Structure 1
Protein backbone atom coordinates (compact mmCIF):
# COMPACT_ATOMS: atom_id res chain seq x y z
CA UNK A 1 0.00 0.00 0.00
CA UNK A 2 2.90 2.33 0.68
CA UNK A 3 3.91 2.13 -2.99
CA UNK A 4 0.45 3.32 -4.08
CA UNK A 5 0.69 6.28 -1.70
CA UNK A 6 4.08 7.21 -3.13
CA UNK A 7 2.80 6.84 -6.69
CA UNK A 8 -0.21 9.04 -5.87
CA UNK A 9 2.10 11.73 -4.49
CA UNK A 10 4.31 11.53 -7.60
CA UNK A 11 1.24 11.73 -9.85
CA UNK A 12 0.02 14.78 -7.93
CA UNK A 13 3.33 16.46 -8.70
CA UNK A 14 2.80 15.89 -12.43
CA UNK A 15 4.48 12.53 -13.07
CA UNK A 16 2.26 10.98 -15.75
CA UNK A 17 4.10 7.63 -15.57
CA UNK A 18 3.23 7.42 -11.87
CA UNK A 19 -0.42 8.19 -12.68
CA UNK A 20 -0.46 5.39 -15.25
CA UNK A 21 1.03 2.99 -12.69
CA UNK A 22 -1.65 3.96 -10.15
CA UNK A 23 -4.37 3.07 -12.63
CA UNK A 24 -2.61 -0.17 -13.62
CA UNK A 25 -2.26 -1.27 -10.00
CA UNK A 26 -5.77 -0.24 -8.98
CA UNK A 27 -7.51 -1.31 -12.19
CA UNK A 28 -9.16 -4.34 -10.55
CA UNK A 29 -10.54 -2.09 -7.79
CA UNK A 30 -11.78 0.41 -10.37
CA UNK A 31 -13.47 -2.41 -12.30
CA UNK A 32 -15.18 -3.53 -9.06
CA UNK A 33 -16.47 0.01 -8.50
CA UNK A 34 -17.66 0.20 -12.10
CA UNK A 35 -19.48 -3.13 -11.82
CA UNK A 36 -21.28 -1.79 -8.76
CA UNK A 37 -22.24 1.42 -10.60
CA UNK A 38 -23.49 -0.48 -13.65
CA UNK A 39 -25.41 -2.93 -11.43
CA UNK A 40 -27.00 -0.05 -9.49
CA UNK A 41 -27.95 1.74 -12.71
CA UNK A 42 -29.38 -1.48 -14.16
CA UNK A 43 -30.73 -1.12 -17.67
CA UNK A 44 -30.49 2.65 -17.40
CA UNK A 45 -26.92 2.89 -18.63
CA UNK A 46 -25.45 1.71 -21.90
CA UNK A 47 -21.96 1.77 -20.44
CA UNK A 48 -20.02 -1.37 -19.69
CA UNK A 49 -17.53 -1.51 -16.84
CA UNK A 50 -14.46 -0.88 -19.01
CA UNK A 51 -15.95 2.23 -20.60
CA UNK A 52 -17.08 3.50 -17.20
CA UNK A 53 -13.58 3.00 -15.72
CA UNK A 54 -12.00 4.85 -18.63
CA UNK A 55 -14.51 7.71 -18.57
CA UNK A 56 -14.02 8.09 -14.83
CA UNK A 57 -10.24 8.02 -15.25
CA UNK A 58 -10.46 10.88 -17.75
CA UNK A 59 -12.33 12.90 -15.15
CA UNK A 60 -9.99 11.94 -12.31
CA UNK A 61 -6.89 12.69 -14.40
CA UNK A 62 -8.36 16.03 -15.47
CA UNK A 63 -9.30 17.07 -11.94
CA UNK A 64 -7.19 20.03 -10.96
CA UNK A 65 -6.38 20.37 -7.30
CA UNK A 66 -7.55 16.84 -6.46
CA UNK A 67 -5.58 15.41 -3.55
CA UNK A 68 -5.32 11.66 -3.06
CA UNK A 69 -3.15 10.95 -0.03
CA UNK A 70 -3.84 7.22 -0.18
CA UNK A 71 -5.63 4.41 -2.01
CA UNK A 72 -8.95 4.88 -0.19
CA UNK A 73 -9.18 8.57 -1.05
CA UNK A 74 -8.37 7.81 -4.68
CA UNK A 75 -11.04 5.09 -4.88
CA UNK A 76 -13.62 7.28 -3.15
CA UNK A 77 -12.96 10.06 -5.68
CA UNK A 78 -13.08 7.54 -8.55
CA UNK A 79 -16.47 6.30 -7.30
CA UNK A 80 -17.74 9.86 -7.26
CA UNK A 81 -16.44 10.36 -10.81
CA UNK A 82 -18.20 7.17 -11.95
CA UNK A 83 -21.43 8.36 -10.39
CA UNK A 84 -21.16 11.64 -12.26
CA UNK A 85 -20.50 9.79 -15.55
CA UNK A 86 -23.70 7.76 -15.07
CA UNK A 87 -25.72 10.86 -14.09
CA UNK A 88 -24.39 12.81 -17.09
CA UNK A 89 -25.32 9.94 -19.41
CA UNK A 90 -28.85 9.87 -17.99
CA UNK A 91 -29.18 13.64 -18.39
CA UNK A 92 -27.98 13.45 -21.99
CA UNK A 93 -30.48 10.70 -22.76
CA UNK A 94 -33.28 12.74 -21.22
CA UNK A 95 -32.24 15.75 -23.30
CA UNK A 96 -32.34 13.57 -26.43
CA UNK A 97 -35.79 12.33 -25.43
CA UNK A 98 -36.96 15.90 -25.10
CA UNK A 99 -35.81 16.69 -28.60
CA UNK A 100 -32.19 17.69 -28.05
CA UNK A 101 -32.72 21.11 -29.58
CA UNK A 102 -35.19 20.00 -32.25
CA UNK A 103 -38.57 21.62 -32.62
CA UNK A 104 -41.00 20.05 -30.13
CA UNK A 105 -43.61 17.71 -31.51
CA UNK A 106 -46.87 17.07 -29.71
CA UNK A 107 -46.92 13.56 -28.30
CA UNK A 108 -49.80 11.38 -27.39
CA UNK A 109 -49.98 11.10 -23.59
CA UNK A 110 -49.91 7.31 -23.86
CA UNK A 111 -46.39 7.51 -25.32
CA UNK A 112 -45.21 9.83 -22.57
CA UNK A 113 -46.42 7.41 -19.91
CA UNK A 114 -44.40 4.58 -21.48
CA UNK A 115 -41.03 6.31 -20.93
CA UNK A 116 -38.88 4.57 -18.33
CA UNK A 117 -38.99 6.23 -14.94
CA UNK A 118 -35.56 4.91 -13.86
CA UNK A 119 -33.68 7.89 -15.28
CA UNK A 120 -35.68 10.22 -13.08
CA UNK A 121 -34.89 8.02 -10.08
CA UNK A 122 -31.14 8.26 -10.68
CA UNK A 123 -31.37 12.03 -10.96
CA UNK A 124 -33.48 12.24 -7.78
CA UNK A 125 -30.87 10.23 -5.85
CA UNK A 126 -28.10 12.42 -7.26
CA UNK A 127 -29.95 15.62 -6.30
CA UNK A 128 -30.73 14.26 -2.82
CA UNK A 129 -27.04 13.45 -2.30
CA UNK A 130 -26.09 16.94 -3.45
CA UNK A 131 -28.60 18.42 -0.99
CA UNK A 132 -27.21 16.21 1.79
CA UNK A 133 -23.66 17.32 0.90
CA UNK A 134 -24.67 20.96 1.36
CA UNK A 135 -26.29 20.28 4.73
CA UNK A 136 -23.89 17.66 6.13
CA UNK A 137 -20.84 17.09 3.88
CA UNK A 138 -19.46 14.23 5.98
CA UNK A 139 -22.73 12.29 5.72
CA UNK A 140 -22.60 12.56 1.93
CA UNK A 141 -18.97 11.39 1.99
CA UNK A 142 -19.94 8.36 4.07
CA UNK A 143 -22.68 7.46 1.56
CA UNK A 144 -20.34 7.85 -1.41
CA UNK A 145 -17.55 5.87 0.24
CA UNK A 146 -19.80 3.09 1.50
CA UNK A 147 -22.36 2.76 -1.26
CA UNK A 148 -20.46 3.84 -4.35
CA UNK A 149 -16.88 2.91 -3.42
CA UNK A 150 -17.79 -0.17 -1.38
CA UNK A 151 -15.48 0.71 1.50
CA UNK A 152 -15.99 -0.90 4.89
CA UNK A 153 -16.77 1.17 7.99
CA UNK A 154 -13.20 0.84 9.30
CA UNK A 155 -11.79 2.10 5.99
CA UNK A 156 -14.20 5.03 5.92
CA UNK A 157 -13.39 5.91 9.52
CA UNK A 158 -9.67 5.91 8.75
CA UNK A 159 -10.12 8.00 5.61
CA UNK A 160 -12.29 10.58 7.40
CA UNK A 161 -10.36 10.54 10.67
CA UNK A 162 -13.35 9.55 12.82
CA UNK A 163 -14.34 6.46 14.79
CA UNK A 164 -16.22 3.51 13.33
CA UNK A 165 -19.15 4.31 15.60
CA UNK A 166 -19.29 7.82 14.13
CA UNK A 167 -19.39 6.30 10.64
CA UNK A 168 -22.23 4.00 11.73
CA UNK A 169 -24.21 6.95 13.12
CA UNK A 170 -23.50 9.02 10.00
CA UNK A 171 -24.68 6.14 7.80
CA UNK A 172 -27.94 5.89 9.77
CA UNK A 173 -28.53 9.65 9.56
CA UNK A 174 -27.77 9.71 5.85
CA UNK A 175 -30.11 6.79 5.15
CA UNK A 176 -32.88 8.53 7.08
CA UNK A 177 -32.32 11.82 5.24
CA UNK A 178 -32.28 10.09 1.84
CA UNK A 179 -35.39 8.04 2.61
CA UNK A 180 -37.26 11.22 3.55
CA UNK A 181 -35.93 13.14 0.54
CA UNK A 182 -36.76 10.36 -1.89
CA UNK A 183 -39.88 9.28 -0.01
Structure 2
Protein backbone atom coordinates (compact mmCIF):
# COMPACT_ATOMS: atom_id res chain seq x y z
CA UNK A 1 0.00 0.00 0.00
CA UNK A 2 1.45 3.36 -1.01
CA UNK A 3 1.91 6.28 1.33
CA UNK A 4 -0.82 8.28 -0.45
CA UNK A 5 -3.28 5.39 -0.03
CA UNK A 6 -2.47 5.18 3.69
CA UNK A 7 -2.91 8.93 4.05
CA UNK A 8 -6.22 8.83 2.17
CA UNK A 9 -7.50 6.09 4.47
CA UNK A 10 -6.41 8.05 7.56
CA UNK A 11 -8.08 11.17 6.16
CA UNK A 12 -11.26 9.17 5.57
CA UNK A 13 -11.25 8.29 9.25
CA UNK A 14 -11.12 11.96 10.22
CA UNK A 15 -7.37 12.62 10.49
CA UNK A 16 -7.14 16.27 9.41
CA UNK A 17 -3.33 16.25 9.32
CA UNK A 18 -3.37 13.29 6.92
CA UNK A 19 -5.87 15.09 4.69
CA UNK A 20 -3.67 18.18 4.58
CA UNK A 21 -0.63 16.04 3.76
CA UNK A 22 -2.53 14.35 0.88
CA UNK A 23 -3.28 17.71 -0.65
CA UNK A 24 0.30 18.86 -0.15
CA UNK A 25 1.64 15.77 -1.92
CA UNK A 26 -0.95 15.81 -4.72
CA UNK A 27 -0.99 19.61 -5.11
CA UNK A 28 0.89 19.49 -8.42
CA UNK A 29 -1.59 17.02 -9.90
CA UNK A 30 -4.52 19.04 -8.57
CA UNK A 31 -3.08 22.14 -10.23
CA UNK A 32 -2.72 20.20 -13.50
CA UNK A 33 -6.41 19.26 -13.29
CA UNK A 34 -7.36 22.85 -12.50
CA UNK A 35 -5.23 24.21 -15.36
CA UNK A 36 -7.01 21.90 -17.80
CA UNK A 37 -10.42 22.94 -16.47
CA UNK A 38 -9.62 26.62 -16.76
CA UNK A 39 -8.15 26.16 -20.22
CA UNK A 40 -11.29 24.32 -21.33
CA UNK A 41 -13.52 26.88 -19.64
CA UNK A 42 -12.29 29.85 -21.62
CA UNK A 43 -13.60 33.08 -20.19
CA UNK A 44 -16.36 31.41 -18.21
CA UNK A 45 -14.52 31.50 -14.92
CA UNK A 46 -12.77 34.25 -13.05
CA UNK A 47 -10.82 31.71 -11.00
CA UNK A 48 -7.17 31.03 -11.59
CA UNK A 49 -5.54 27.63 -11.12
CA UNK A 50 -4.64 28.17 -7.49
CA UNK A 51 -8.06 29.52 -6.58
CA UNK A 52 -9.79 26.56 -8.24
CA UNK A 53 -7.57 24.05 -6.41
CA UNK A 54 -8.18 25.80 -3.08
CA UNK A 55 -11.93 26.05 -3.60
CA UNK A 56 -12.06 22.39 -4.55
CA UNK A 57 -10.01 21.48 -1.48
CA UNK A 58 -12.41 23.38 0.77
CA UNK A 59 -15.26 21.35 -0.67
CA UNK A 60 -13.31 18.09 -0.48
CA UNK A 61 -12.42 18.76 3.14
CA UNK A 62 -16.08 19.39 3.90
CA UNK A 63 -17.16 16.05 2.42
CA UNK A 64 -17.91 14.22 5.65
CA UNK A 65 -17.60 10.45 5.60
CA UNK A 66 -16.06 10.38 2.13
CA UNK A 67 -13.14 7.98 1.82
CA UNK A 68 -10.93 7.26 -1.14
CA UNK A 69 -9.28 3.87 -1.64
CA UNK A 70 -6.36 5.32 -3.60
CA UNK A 71 -4.91 8.29 -5.47
CA UNK A 72 -6.84 7.69 -8.71
CA UNK A 73 -10.22 7.77 -6.98
CA UNK A 74 -9.22 10.90 -5.11
CA UNK A 75 -8.18 12.66 -8.33
CA UNK A 76 -11.33 11.53 -10.14
CA UNK A 77 -13.45 12.88 -7.31
CA UNK A 78 -11.40 16.10 -7.26
CA UNK A 79 -12.12 16.52 -10.99
CA UNK A 80 -15.84 16.20 -10.28
CA UNK A 81 -15.62 18.73 -7.46
CA UNK A 82 -13.75 21.18 -9.72
CA UNK A 83 -16.47 20.79 -12.33
CA UNK A 84 -19.09 21.68 -9.73
CA UNK A 85 -17.05 24.67 -8.55
CA UNK A 86 -16.97 26.01 -12.12
CA UNK A 87 -20.70 25.30 -12.67
CA UNK A 88 -21.61 27.00 -9.38
CA UNK A 89 -19.54 30.01 -10.36
CA UNK A 90 -21.31 30.27 -13.71
CA UNK A 91 -24.71 29.98 -12.07
CA UNK A 92 -23.81 32.63 -9.53
CA UNK A 93 -22.69 34.98 -12.29
CA UNK A 94 -25.91 34.43 -14.14
CA UNK A 95 -28.07 35.16 -11.13
CA UNK A 96 -30.00 38.30 -11.96
CA UNK A 97 -29.83 39.65 -8.43
CA UNK A 98 -26.06 39.66 -8.67
CA UNK A 99 -25.93 41.31 -12.06
CA UNK A 100 -25.12 37.98 -13.69
CA UNK A 101 -26.10 39.27 -17.11
CA UNK A 102 -23.17 41.71 -17.10
CA UNK A 103 -20.06 40.54 -18.97
CA UNK A 104 -17.06 39.64 -16.86
CA UNK A 105 -13.97 41.79 -17.31
CA UNK A 106 -10.49 40.46 -16.69
CA UNK A 107 -6.97 41.70 -17.22
CA UNK A 108 -5.66 38.21 -17.98
CA UNK A 109 -4.39 38.34 -21.58
CA UNK A 110 -4.06 34.54 -21.82
CA UNK A 111 -7.83 34.35 -22.09
CA UNK A 112 -7.72 36.06 -25.47
CA UNK A 113 -5.91 33.03 -26.90
CA UNK A 114 -8.50 30.56 -25.66
CA UNK A 115 -11.68 29.37 -27.30
CA UNK A 116 -14.52 31.49 -25.94
CA UNK A 117 -17.47 29.75 -24.32
CA UNK A 118 -20.49 31.52 -22.96
CA UNK A 119 -22.09 30.79 -19.62
CA UNK A 120 -25.08 29.39 -21.50
CA UNK A 121 -22.84 26.92 -23.35
CA UNK A 122 -21.29 25.70 -20.12
CA UNK A 123 -24.68 25.23 -18.48
CA UNK A 124 -26.00 23.41 -21.57
CA UNK A 125 -23.04 21.02 -21.41
CA UNK A 126 -23.67 20.50 -17.69
CA UNK A 127 -27.37 19.78 -18.26
CA UNK A 128 -26.55 17.41 -21.14
CA UNK A 129 -24.06 15.64 -18.90
CA UNK A 130 -26.73 15.26 -16.21
CA UNK A 131 -29.05 13.70 -18.84
CA UNK A 132 -26.26 11.39 -19.94
CA UNK A 133 -25.73 10.28 -16.34
CA UNK A 134 -29.39 9.28 -16.25
CA UNK A 135 -28.92 7.12 -19.36
CA UNK A 136 -25.50 5.66 -18.60
CA UNK A 137 -23.59 6.78 -15.49
CA UNK A 138 -20.28 5.33 -16.70
CA UNK A 139 -20.40 7.44 -19.87
CA UNK A 140 -20.90 10.53 -17.71
CA UNK A 141 -17.96 9.50 -15.52
CA UNK A 142 -15.74 9.09 -18.57
CA UNK A 143 -16.68 12.56 -19.82
CA UNK A 144 -16.11 14.13 -16.39
CA UNK A 145 -12.73 12.49 -15.94
CA UNK A 146 -11.52 13.19 -19.47
CA UNK A 147 -13.03 16.58 -20.30
CA UNK A 148 -13.26 18.18 -16.89
CA UNK A 149 -10.52 16.25 -15.10
CA UNK A 150 -8.01 15.98 -17.92
CA UNK A 151 -7.23 12.37 -17.05
CA UNK A 152 -5.68 10.12 -19.67
CA UNK A 153 -7.58 7.14 -21.05
CA UNK A 154 -5.30 4.77 -19.14
CA UNK A 155 -5.99 6.62 -15.87
CA UNK A 156 -9.74 6.57 -16.51
CA UNK A 157 -9.64 2.86 -17.36
CA UNK A 158 -7.77 2.10 -14.17
CA UNK A 159 -10.12 4.20 -12.03
CA UNK A 160 -13.24 2.60 -13.53
CA UNK A 161 -11.82 -0.91 -13.70
CA UNK A 162 -12.28 -1.27 -17.47
CA UNK A 163 -9.96 -1.50 -20.47
CA UNK A 164 -8.61 1.51 -22.34
CA UNK A 165 -10.53 0.38 -25.42
CA UNK A 166 -13.77 0.46 -23.39
CA UNK A 167 -12.94 4.01 -22.32
CA UNK A 168 -12.33 4.96 -25.96
CA UNK A 169 -15.68 3.47 -27.03
CA UNK A 170 -17.44 5.13 -24.08
CA UNK A 171 -15.87 8.48 -25.03
CA UNK A 172 -17.06 8.15 -28.64
CA UNK A 173 -20.55 7.12 -27.57
CA UNK A 174 -20.76 9.92 -25.00
CA UNK A 175 -19.64 12.53 -27.55
CA UNK A 176 -22.38 11.40 -29.95
CA UNK A 177 -25.07 11.41 -27.26
CA UNK A 178 -23.94 14.79 -25.92
CA UNK A 179 -23.85 16.37 -29.37
CA UNK A 180 -27.38 15.10 -30.08
CA UNK A 181 -28.53 16.45 -26.72
CA UNK A 182 -26.92 19.85 -27.30
CA UNK A 183 -28.51 20.24 -30.76
CA UNK A 184 -32.03 20.00 -29.40
**How would you bin the TM-score normalised by the shorter chain?**
0.7 to 0.9
Task: Give matches, 1:30-45, under 5 Å.
Answer: 30-45=30-45
**Shift of residue 65, structure 1, vs aligned partner:** 3.4
Task: Give matches, 1:30-179, under 5 Å.
Answer: 30-95=30-95, 98-100=96-98, 118-179=118-179
| Contact 2:139/2:170, CA 8 A, preserved across alignment | yes
Runs of 5+ unmatched residues, structure 2: 105-116
Matches of 1:34 and 1:62, distance apart in 2: 19
Matches of 1:179 and 1:14, distance apart in 2: 42
**Shift of residue 153, structure 1, vs aligned partner:** 1.6
Q: Secondary structure at the match of 1:50?
A: helix
Aligned length: 170
**Structure number with bigger Rg:** 1
For residues 80-105 of structure 1, what are the alpha-carbon distances to aligned partners after superposition, in whole Å with 9 as ceiling and x for unaligned?
1111111111111110xx2349xxxx
Runs of 5+ unmatched residues, structure 1: 102-111
Matches of 2:179 and 2:118, distance apart in 1: 17
Matches of 1:32 and 1:142, distance apart in 2: 18
Q: Which has the higher contact order (CA 8 A, sep 6+)?
A: 2
- TM-score normalized by the length of structure 1: 0.86
RMSD: 1.9
Matches of 2:168 and 2:67, distance apart in 1: 25
Q: Secondary structure at the match of 2:18?
A: helix
**Shift of residue 66, structure 1, vs aligned partner:** 2.3
